[in-house]
Structure 1
Amino acid sequence: MPTNGSKALTLVVGLINYEGRYLTAEAFSFKLSASAPSLKRKQRWTLEQDDTQTQVVYLRSHLGRYLAADKHGRVTCEAETRDEAQPDCRFVVVAQSDGRWALQSEPHQRFFGGTADRLSCFAQFIGDPELWAVHLALHPQANLHSVARKRYAHLSSEGEGEVAVDSNVPWGVDALLTLVYRLDGKYALKTADSRFLGNDGKLSVDSGRATGYTLEFKCGKLAFKDCEGKYLTPMGPTGTLRSGRCSKPGKEELFDLEESRPQVVLTAANGKYVSIRTGVNISANQEEETNMETFQMEFDRQTKECTFRTNAGQYWEVVSHGGLQATAKEVGANTMFQMHCLDRRIALRASNGKYVCMKKNGQLLAVSDAIGDDEQLVLKLINRPILILRGENGFICHHKTSNTLDANRSVYDIFTLEFSNGAYQIKGIGGKFWYVNSVGVVCADGETPEDFTFEFLEHGRMAIRSAKNGKYLRGEQTGTLKADGDVVKCSTLWEY
């Protein structure tokens, strides 16, 4: 069975105390507090499962240090390894009916809690100070994989639509699910067509009581508990996702979140889609987009080179005489390509040092020494019709009192993408478009579309360039989003 090549995402969370403040690990003296009003880098905690005892977890700070509590209830976060802090870094999550956690020291049986800089792990019983709400700190757009069925969830096209759990691979736009964090601490599941999943399995345009779920964690997996205390589960032959009868999560109710990798279609100089429909040879010879014209881009974290993967699990590779075929079963030297961004087009340089070009019959070969018209491709991202962007300082969100955008928020807004001739228009609230004003600030109340180009440069991140002034979008620490970046750096890269 083909897989998507993705592993389950490591769970990264923010922990919110009863006063609405986040647990924070400070760089200075590794001090701990619960005083931050929002979820940013210092408030992110990685949940690690114990290798032998599934009920035991470890909490690692953004500094790579482990939370620990000694027999006197003193809490620290200084140990660089689990072994250094054993057994004091071992905790058990005691989930409450409202979805909050109590964190119990496994060796000392006391509960962790407190406020501001008065944190301890000495309470014998669970009260409000010992309860923590959980805010996922992952990028909220992902693929959902059923542990029991070993299949992926996707938006079904039958009837009025449902979320079915019957795909071998999460392919195309229908496999994208967005976790929407709500003010009540619950999460909603939003499909690619901007509808919310209800506990009866039906989809609706509005989010209400029946579309809110409490996230529970069991053995490193996720379960979704609805407003009636039941859990989402795949049901029937197609695995329709809806609440079942169980009031405790078993294997059928457990899911993994997996990274949703970018999937694209490519158009060559002849105006035809690049395809493998006629065999293993990669050719630009199709008039419509299907799974055979859709490819998944996977970037190497070190080299920043990328591969192109088919929905059957094969990779593009350079074969003899520079030909391109979708035959490789594993990533290797001949499957790697350097992507060159050319405004609204891209060019691909293969492992043999040659550029990919289109021959008169539409076949693609890596035989060119320079970039001309036949070496240029239009690349369209297809599995992000709705878009959430996170930079080094936080998510992009509409400013509360002006027409600008904040780029340092712990909550996110969902934007809509429209594609046109190698560029994208981005829409926000009320269908208004992003645009760059006269001083380079990005605004979100435009009546007419303005073009932005996307440059896919590394794993999970892209740069966005204004077609108007040619500058990269840059997020300032103060939150202002500007189109004034001249080069790609941390402040101009966006997780999508």
Structure 2
Amino acid sequence: MPGNGLHRALKIQFGLLNDADRYLTAESFGFKVNASAPGLKRKQTWVLEPSPGQGPAVLLRSSHLGRYLSAGEDGRVACEAERPGRDCRFLVLPQPDGRWALRSEPHGRFFGGAEDRLSCFATAISAAELWTVHLAIHPQAHLRSESRRRYAHLCPQGDEMVADSDAPWGVGALVTLAFRDRRYCLRCCDGRFLRQDGRLVREPEARACYTLELKAGKLALKDCDGHYLAPVGPAGTLRAGRNTRPGKDELFALEESPPQVALLAANRRYVSVRQGVNVSANQDEELDCETFMMQMDPDTGRCAFYSSTGAYWALVTHGGIQATATQVSASTMFEVEWRGRRVALKASNGRYVCMKRNGQLAAVSDFVGGAPDPRRWQGAQPPLPPGEGEEFTLKLVNRPGLVLRGLDGFVRQRRGSAQLDTNRSAYDVFALSFSDGAYQIRGGGGFWRTGGHGAVRSDGERGEDFVLELRARGRLAIRARCGRYLRGDASGLLRADAPAPAGAALWEF
């Protein structure tokens, strides 16, 4: 069963990029480390952990090996310690340009070098001992101000970003972190970038780029003039303030951005909680009361639907569905069955959710297209005839642009080609267009289309329909019109040839 915490802080994983544009790598063979990789993948991903006991020392653990970086008295470095010892303790010394110098705490020497000639024996900091932090998390997230305890979002007027929302609701709360030339840009849901003066611009110019600093698991963003991004004024407008040192006002937390969806019922109206606690399909508009956050259970794949009113959908007496639960329990969990362009929802009583003639929802059908037993229905309005009320069209609301990461890296269009690679350390943002339960996906060269041998290319003149299936927490599957699922093959090419939505056919989004 998932926890009741809706807003989960992202586990900060990162790569360390040296002065020669190569990443610190932990190798399986001999537990050796080098700085030879040109891209950020699994072997180049690290986690910062506090060192046991008092003091500022930290530990660097390889996400790939699960072991700790260590430096001996003679300067030799390795990544073989299963448990952190004295030689695994490092001090992080941030530099004015945001890069890190790593000093062995017990030996007082600095860690650096190039390619396979890494050591921790330098007595002073040079360019070879400086590392740039490159976040290795999915770049689409929610941004929460630590001082105001409010979420950043694009304001309704669309002219600035403000940190004044109690909950990260709707597409406006989605922020994409873009890594460019060792610095970061904040991209809004409409594709514009946040500039240091609070304005939103179309291109990631120098004044829209920030140096990222990590402070106790939180982020601080420093502009090109040395000032830090912060919420300013009564509205909490995001712009660079006066401070040249980050305090609580300048710190932000990155949180997961779970899928938020709208559901269209067979009567062509949106499921809503606008009218009160009853969950009903009775609205023509798609606004906050028609948007629901899907909280996925990682163990069972079932999900809870959380509403903008602060309550979960729950199964109540006689099979009714109401948004009244404040805690996740068995009665709030639903199994999602993907049926082509439509979905069916099975409640904890083992019956499918269907719709009364007045739009109210209840879990009283034994199967999709099956007539509910009238003895189980106590309401004044019976459900629709068999087959008309159990299927819904599900629309993903808070992903106007899609960033996909698979087992081997991000999906990106190859430069000068329509080929889509699935093993890249940098990503493309692909535009989504929704139509009757399916999506058209567009890249820089055109729409995605399937070709010979299942190859997927980004050069279509017209949109081809793909179905996005939300299969696990933070993961989706993409089904092509041939009925197969998209996966990354051994060569790193995107193909529509997977028979099931599992393994390489699941994408972090």
TM-score of the two chains, using structure 1 as the length reference: 0.96
Give the structure 2 partner of residue 463 of structure 1.
477
* Shift, 1:4, TM fit: 6.9
Q: Is the 8 A contact 1:408 1:477 kept in 2?
A: no
Segment of structure 1 superposing worse, 339-348 or 14-23: 14-23
Segment of structure 1 superposing worse, 435-444 or 343-352: 435-444
CA distance in 2, matches of 1:216, 1:426: 34
Give aligned-pair identity as a percent: 56
Q: Is the 8 A contact 1:4 1:313 kept in 2?
A: no
Give the structure 2 partner of residue 388 of structure 1.
403
CA distance in 2, matches of 1:35, 1:392: 21
Give the structure 2 partner of residue 41 of structure 1.
42
- List runs of 5+ in structure 2 lacking aligned partners: 370-386
Give the structure 1 partner of residue 214 of structure 2.
217
Helix, strand or coil for the counterpart of 1:88?
helix
CA distance in 1, matches of 2:21, 2:456: 31
Helix, strand or coil for the counterpart of 1:375?
coil
Give the structure 1 partner of residue 374 of structure 2.
none
Q: Deviations over 1:356-415 (max 9, x none)?
A: 111111111111110123110100001000111111111000112321111110000111
Give the structure 2 partner of residue 11 of structure 1.
12
* Shift, 1:51, TM fit: 7.0
Give the structure 2 partner of residue 206 of structure 1.
203
Q: Which amino acid aligns with 2:96?
A: S
CA distance in 1, matches of 2:106, 2:160: 45
Give the structure 2 partner of residue 495 of structure 1.
508
CA distance in 2, matches of 1:176, 1:189: 10
CA distance in 1, matches of 2:235, 2:156: 12
Helix, strand or coil for the counterpart of 1:142?
strand
Give the structure 1 partner of residue 127 of structure 2.
128
1:98 aligns with 2:97: yes
CA distance in 1, matches of 2:291, 2:52: 38
Q: Deviations over 1:296-321 (max 9, x none)?
A: 00111111111111123311111111
Helix, strand or coil for the counterpart of 1:393?
coil
1:153 aligns with 2:152: yes
Number of matched pairs? 487
Give the structure 2 partner of residue 194 of structure 1.
191
1:229 aligns with 2:226: yes
Q: Deviations over 1:281-310 (max 9, x none)?
A: 111111101111100001111111111111
- List runs of 5+ in structure 1 lacking aligned partners: none
Give the structure 1 partner of residue 456 of structure 2.
442
TM-score of the two chains, using structure 2 as the length reference: 0.93
CA distance in 2, matches of 1:492, 1:348: 23
CA distance in 1, matches of 2:120, 2:335: 51
Give the structure 2 partner of residue 367 of structure 1.
364
Helix, strand or coil for the counterpart of 2:169?
coil
* Shift, 1:492, TM fit: 0.5
* Shift, 1:52, TM fit: 6.2
Segment of structure 1 superposing worse, 349-358 or 192-201: 349-358
Change in Cα spacing, 1:457 to 1:218, as seen in structure 2 (3 Å) is same
CA distance in 2, matches of 1:440, 1:216: 43
1:322 aligns with 2:319: yes
CA distance in 2, matches of 1:388, 1:51: 37
Give the structure 1 partner of residue 137 of structure 2.
138
Helix, strand or coil for the counterpart of 1:29?
helix
Q: Deviations over 1:411-461 (max 9, x none)?
A: 00111100000000011115x211111331111011111100011110100
Helix, strand or coil for the counterpart of 2:318?
helix
CA-based RMSD of the aligned residues comes to 1.4
Q: Which amino acid aligns with 2:329?
A: G
Helix, strand or coil for the counterpart of 1:366?
strand
Give the structure 2 partner of residue 299 of structure 1.
296
Q: Which amino acid aligns with 1:341?
A: W
CA distance in 2, matches of 1:52, 1:363: 57
Q: Is the 8 A contact 1:299 1:305 kept in 2?
A: yes
Partner of residue 415 from structure 2, selected from 397, 400, 405: 400
CA distance in 1, matches of 2:169, 2:179: 25
Q: Which amino acid aligns with 2:508?
A: E
* Shift, 1:50, TM fit: 4.5
Helix, strand or coil for the counterpart of 1:439?
helix
Q: Is the 8 A contact 1:393 1:477 kept in 2?
A: no
CA distance in 1, matches of 2:204, 2:465: 31
CA distance in 1, matches of 2:283, 2:396: 18
CA distance in 2, matches of 1:122, 1:101: 16
Q: Deviations over 1:207-254 (max 9, x none)?
A: 111001110111221000111111001000110000011111111000
Q: Is the 8 A contact 1:423 1:454 kept in 2?
A: yes
Q: Is the 8 A contact 1:10 1:47 kept in 2?
A: no
Q: Which amino acid aligns with 1:73?
A: G
Q: Is the 8 A contact 2:289 2:309 kept in 1?
A: no
* Shift, 1:344, TM fit: 0.3
Helix, strand or coil for the counterpart of 1:390?
coil
